[in-house]
Chains A and B, each alone.
Chain A
Amino acid sequence: MSVASQDNAMRTGRAARVFIYVFLLVFALFYLLPFFIMVVNSVKPLGEITGGNMIALPKTWTIEPWLSAWSTAQIGVEPTGLRPYFWNSIKMVVPAVIIGTIIGALNGYILTKWRFRGDTLIFGLMLFSCFIPFQIVLIPMARILGILDIAGTTPGLVLVHVVYGIGFSTLYFRNYYAAFPTELVRAAQIDGAGFFQIFYRILLPSSGPIAVVCVIWLFTNIWNDFLFGASFASGGAAPMTVALNNLVNSSTGVREYNVHFAGAIMAALPTLLVYIVAGRYFVRGLMAGSVKG
Chain B
Amino acid sequence: MATDTSVDLRTRLQNWLPKLVLAPSFALVLIFVYGFIIFTVYLSFTDSRMLPSYNLVGWENYSKLFRIREWGVAIKNLAIFASLYILICTVIGLFLAIFLDQKIRGEGVLRPIFLYPMALSFIVTGTAWKWFLDPGIGIENTMHLWGWDSFQFNWIKDRQMAIYTIVIAAVWQTSGFVMAMFLAGLRGIDTEILKAAQMDGASNFQMYRRIIIPQLRPAFLSAFVILCHLAIKSYDLVIALTGGGPGNATAVPATFMYSYTFTRNQMGIGASSAVIMLMTIAAIMVPYLYSELREKK
Contact = CB atoms under 8 A, between A and B. Distances in A.
A94 interface: no
A68 interface: no
Contact of B240 (A54, A131, A248, A290): A248
Interface string A274-293: 11100100110011001111
A135 B276 CA distance: 10
A126 B113 contact: no
A122 B40 CA distance: 22
Interface stretch (A74-82, A163-171, A204-212): A163-171
Contact of A30 (B29, B52, B172): B172
B170 interface: no
Given A37-B128, A54-B142, A110 B18 contact: yes
Interface string A38-58: 100100000001101111000
A125 B275 contact: no
B281 interface: yes
A72 interface: no
A49 B136 CA distance: 10
Interface in A95-112: 103, 106-107, 110-111
Interface stretch (B65-73, B149-157, B175-183): B175-183
A137 interface: yes
Interface residues of B, number: 99
Interface stretch (A59-67, A150-158, A218-226): A218-226
B36 interface: yes
Given A21-B104, A133-B278, A244 B28 contact: no
Contact of A129 (B29, B121, B132): B29
A264 B124 contact: yes
A27 B92 contact: yes
B145 interface: yes
B127 A264 contact: yes
Contact of B267 (A21, A122, A139, A167): A139
A65 B152 CA distance: 29
B26 interface: yes
B250 to A, nearest CB: 15
Contacts of B22: 106-107, 110-111, 122
Interface stretch (B54-62, B79-87, B189-197, B226-234): B226-234
Interface in B258-297: 258, 261-262, 267, 270-271, 273-275, 277-278, 281-282, 285-286, 289-290, 292-293, 295-297
A260 B52 CA distance: 38
Contacts of B271: 139
Contacts of B36: 136-137, 140-141
Contacts of A52: 145
B187 to A, nearest CB: 10
A272 B293 contact: no
Interface residues of A, number: 95
A194 B15 CA distance: 10
A85 interface: no
A293 B43 contact: no
A32 B261 CA distance: 38
A261 interface: yes
A103 B27 CA distance: 13
Nearest to A28: B113
10 contacts: A54-B131, A124-B289, A134-B233, A139-B39, A163-B33, A231-B262, A241-B236, A264-B128, A268-B120, A287-B181
Interface of B: 14, 17-19, 21-22, 25-26, 28-30, 32-37, 39-40, 43, 52, 92, 95-96, 99-100, 102, 104, 110, 112-117, 119-125, 127-132, 136-139, 141-142, 145-146, 172, 176-177, 180-181, 184, 204, 222, 225-226, 229, 232-233, 235-236, 239-240, 243, 253-254, 257-258, 261-262, 267, 270-271, 273-275, 277-278, 281-282, 285-286, 289-290, 292-293, 295-297
Interface of A: 16-17, 20-21, 23-24, 27-28, 30-35, 37-38, 41, 49-50, 52-55, 103, 106-107, 110-111, 114, 116, 120, 122-129, 131-141, 143-144, 162-164, 166-167, 170, 194-196, 220, 223-224, 226-227, 230-231, 241, 244-245, 248-249, 257, 260-261, 263-265, 267-268, 271-272, 274-276, 279, 282-283, 286-287, 290-293
Given A41-B131, A227-B254, A293-B292, 15 more contacts: A34-B128, A37-B132, A53-B141, A107-B25, A124-B293, A131-B281, A136-B278, A137-B32, A163-B32, A224-B121, A226-B121, A226-B240, A248-B127, A279-B115, A291-B292
